[in-house]
Each structure stands twice: as C-alpha cells, then as structure tokens.
A and B are shown apart, each in its own frame.
Chain A
Amino acid sequence: MVKVSHLSKDFETKEGKLEALHEVSFEIKDGEIFGIIGKSGAGKTTLLRILSQLERPSSGEVSINNSVIAKGDKVITNNKIKKTMGVVFQGYNLLMQKTVARNIEFPLKIAGVNKTKWDKRVNDLLRFVDLEDKKEAYPATLSGGQKQRVAIARALANSPKILLLDEPTSALDTLSTSAIISLLQKINQEEQVTIIIVTHEIGVVKKLCQRIAVINEGKVVDYGTVQEVFANPSNIATKQLLGV
C-alpha cells in the first residue's frame, strides 16, 4: 500500500516561494489502478517525483508497504523499495545510444541480476509488450508508441510491485493510446502490479483507473472512485477537467 500523509513541497524561485504541493494525503491500495489527475502545473509530476524518490518533500510522509521513503524534508533512500517500483517518465527517458534490448537490460544490471538471466527476461518482456522485432533497434528509430512500450518493458524488468507512469499517453495518437491502455490493464491483471498514473486525459482515466485523486494548485480537491468523483465533482477544477 502507498500512503501519502500531509505531503507538502515548496520550491524556491526568483519570485519567492512556490508551493507545488500542500497537505496532500491519499492512499493507494495494492493491485489497483490509481489516477492522479489535474491540469498542467497542478503539482502532479512533483508528486510522482516524490513517490519515485527523485524529489524530497518539504514536509509530510510517504510510505510504501509500511516502509517510510520520505519524511519531513528527507528522502530515506531505500534501493530495496526502489527495485520494487518501476517508473515510466513523460519523455520516455530511454538511453539513446543503446539498443532496445540494452535499455531493458539496464535495470537488471543495476539490480545486480545474474547476466545469464538477462536475455531471457528481455525476450519475455519484448514479447509481453509486442516488440520482439525491435530488439536490436535504437530508440531513435521507434515511433512514440513503441518508445513508450520499451519504457514500460524497462520499468517492468525487475518485476516491480508498483508501476508509476507520468502522462504515458499525452504524446500519442488515439491508436497508440488504446494500445498502451490495454497493455497497462494486462500488466495490472496478469502481473498484479499496482499502477499509479499521472494524467490530464479524462478519456484515459475513465477507461483505466479505479480510483483517482484530483489535484489542483497543489491540493487534493477530489478523491474517490472514478464513478463517485465523475458523478459528483465537488470542485470547480474537477468540473473543468470533465468539461461540465
């Protein structure tokens, strides 16, 4: 379970203090697909960066499966927890000078997995994301949807329990978006991976998520199941996102 309690994050800017997150609290249950939604600049990516231990909060606490990973303004670097999480970034962040296979191998190398097991794992993952024919291709030769599938395969390499995705479909066309949604559903159902997805696309949320937290100006303004929140949006920001 992922537990976020009273999480706040401030950034020092030239114009003064910018409050990116304010007293954010929510829980994500094991095995669910949870959406963190909101318009651009709402604080979604900051939240995801804190969850993936790339950013330290200013105050509050984050725990994953009862292990505290961030408390107050400290990140408690926990590589064991990091290896139970896979992160898919908005810009894919693939290694451009390495082939698809080398990209997917990278987390295995980092985790110290025996080299003899890499090839089988890479082949399994490529089959899973339907990119077997691109094993020796370089990321620059792939389409956006294919790059995203490589990024997902890479994030799954160490069999994480939690998959974090930042705007996974925002740069994709409708067809690729549908393919990614199906893939994420497959990961959730077949591999029992908890999925946390940050997005501003309501269509994706409706098709994919079970519960959501709507973030606006750094605060959680709506929180619950997709049906509850969408049927009864309590905040103007949620209404704007829904177009009602």
Chain B
Amino acid sequence: MDLINATCQTIVMVAISLVGAYVFGIPLGVILVGTRKEGIFPNRFWNAILGWIVNTIRSIPFIILLVALIPVTRFLLGTGIGMAAVILPLIVACVPFVARMVETSLLEIDKGMIDAAVAMGASKLQIFFNIYLPESIPSLVRGAAITCIALIGYTAMAGMVDGGGLGQYAIYKGYYQYQYDQVIYTVIILVVLVEIIQLGFISLAKRLDKKRGNIK
C-alpha cells in the first residue's frame, strides 16, 4: 500500500460517507425541527424519541461503533472487513451529526420571515420549501465542511477493520515499521486535505450567501 493509494482510499471513504450521511441526515434534521413544539408538524413524542436516538449514537465513540456494527455490516454486505465495511459505520456515525447540524441551520432562520409567510397565508410545506431550506443553504454548506473534516478523523480508525486509508497507512508504516517519515507525509497530506475542504466549502458558502451583500 502506498501513500497515494491510501490518500485515494481516504477521499473515497469520506466522499461516499458524506453523501450517505446527508441523504439520511437532512431528512432527520428536518424531522427534528418540524416535530418541535413550534415546528411545522409538532409531535412531542417523535421529537423526544428521535432526539434520544441521535444523542445516543453521538455519544458512542466511533471506534466502538465500528466494532459494534460488524455483525450488521457482515449481514448487509457479506463481510466485516475492508473499505465497504467501514463506510456503513461512517454513515451511521455521521447521520446524527449531520441531523444536528441541519437542525441548527434551520433554527437560525429569522422568525420574521416565517411571520411574513404566515401572514400571506402560506402552508407549512410552502414555508418549508420556500423559506427554511433556501434561506439556510449557506449555513448548511458551512456545516458540511465541519462534517467532512470530522469524517476524515473517523476514517483514521478504518484500519481496525482493514478498511485502508491514511490512518491505516500511518499506523502500519510508522508504528509497525518505524518509518516515521511516512507518518509525517501522512500528516502533511491530512493537513492539506482539511485546508482544501475548509477553503472550498467556505468559499462556496460565501458565494451562495446573498445575505452578505453579494450580487448575482
């Protein structure tokens, strides 16, 4: 396994998990906001249950989740090792994280805009699709940068189940083969990756955010 290969594996793991985490995390975040007392479909029971599930998963350290999910991964994918086996736990770990991010972004919306729509006679769904979602997009993009960087951290543990990636590479070369220079290279690549992600998402969020006075 070389460094370039390991970098590619990390990028693939992060990209697939990020998509998976948002596919499930956005609806979950929306439900968390919607079922609140003042939400568009208030339901105290489901809000409490989902909130509890989200908090529980978030409180489990990823390395434990990774091991705990091996039977599930084996059942679904037929194997408990390799990159595919890491992606499922990565998604499971990130969905609650994304859901809370989405929840925070949606709750940042100025209530005055909602008042304006209610006064016009807008339905709850119209308010959701015309105000909540479009007005929170810059904040959601900024949240995606944080999720993405957290995911890179999680992928470092993929080596536990032979998932590959930079984490496994650094442990293998540095810890077992005493090639410390390879560890340094790994760290440099990780720093560069994080910087690119941070800059990329933040500049995208800035471009999308018309609240700051950007003209199309």
In the bound complex, do residue B120 and residue A106 qualify as a contact, i.e. CB atoms below 8 Å apart? yes
* Interface residues in B103-139 (C-beta closer than 8 Å to A): 110, 112-113, 115-122, 126, 130-131, 134-135, 137-138
Binds A, one of B80-88, B180-188, B206-214: B206-214
In the bound complex, do residue B215 and residue A141 qualify as a contact, i.e. CB atoms below 8 Å apart? yes
Question: Which residues of A lie under 8 Å from residue B208 when comparing CB positions?
Answer: 97
Question: Which residues of A lie under 8 Å from residue B209 when comparing CB positions?
Answer: 97
* Interface residues in A121-139 (C-beta closer than 8 Å to B): 136-139
Question: Which residues of A lie under 8 Å from residue B135 when comparing CB positions?
Answer: 95-97
In the bound complex, do residue B216 and residue A110 qualify as a contact, i.e. CB atoms below 8 Å apart? no
Question: Which residues of A lie under 8 Å from residue B110 when comparing CB positions?
Answer: 91, 93, 96
In the bound complex, do residue A54 and residue B213 qualify as a contact, i.e. CB atoms below 8 Å apart? no
Question: Which residues of A lie under 8 Å from residue B120 when comparing CB positions?
Answer: 82-83, 87, 106-107, 110-111, 158
Q: Which of A109, A110, A141 has the most CB of B within 10 A?
A: A110
In the bound complex, do residue A89 and residue B214 qualify as a contact, i.e. CB atoms below 8 Å apart? no
Q: Across the A-B interface, how many residue pairs have beta carbons closer than 8 Å?
A: 82
Given A89-B112, A110-B126, verify A97-B211 contact (CB < 8 Å). Answer: yes
| Chain A contact residues: helix, strand, loop or mixed | loop
Residues of A in contact, count (CB < 8 Å): 30
Give the complex CA separation of A176 and B64 in angstroms: 63
Given A96-B210, A138-B216, verify A54-B118 contact (CB < 8 Å). Answer: yes
In the bound complex, do residue B216 and residue A140 qualify as a contact, i.e. CB atoms below 8 Å apart? no
Question: Which residues of A lie under 8 Å from residue B121 when comparing CB positions?
Answer: 79, 82-83, 110-111
In the complex, whether A53 has a CB less than 8 A from a CB of chain B is: yes
Residues of B in contact, count (CB < 8 Å): 27
Question: Which residues of B lie under 8 Å from residue A99 when comparing CB positions?
Answer: 210, 216
Given A97-B211, A140-B212, verify A109-B116 contact (CB < 8 Å). Answer: no
Give the complex CA separation of A136 and B115 in angstroms: 24
Question: Which residues of B lie under 8 Å from residue A107 when comparing CB positions?
Answer: 120
Give chain A nearest CB distance to B152 CB in angstroms.
29
Q: Pull 26 A–B residue pairs with CB atoms less than 8 Å apart, ordered by A.
A: A79-B121, A82-B120, A85-B119, A89-B112, A89-B115, A89-B116, A93-B115, A94-B113, A95-B130, A95-B135, A96-B110, A96-B113, A96-B211, A97-B134, A97-B135, A97-B138, A99-B210, A106-B130, A110-B121, A110-B122, A111-B120, A136-B216, A138-B213, A138-B214, A138-B216, A140-B211
Query: Residues of A with Cβ closer than 8 Å to B?
Result: 52-54, 79, 82-83, 85, 87, 89, 91, 93-99, 106-107, 109-111, 136-141, 154, 158
Query: Residues of B with Cβ closer than 8 Å to A?
Result: 110, 112-113, 115-122, 126, 130-131, 134-135, 137-138, 208-216
The 8 closest A-B pairs by CB, nearest first: A82-B121, A79-B121, A93-B112, A138-B210, A93-B116, A140-B213, A96-B211, A87-B119
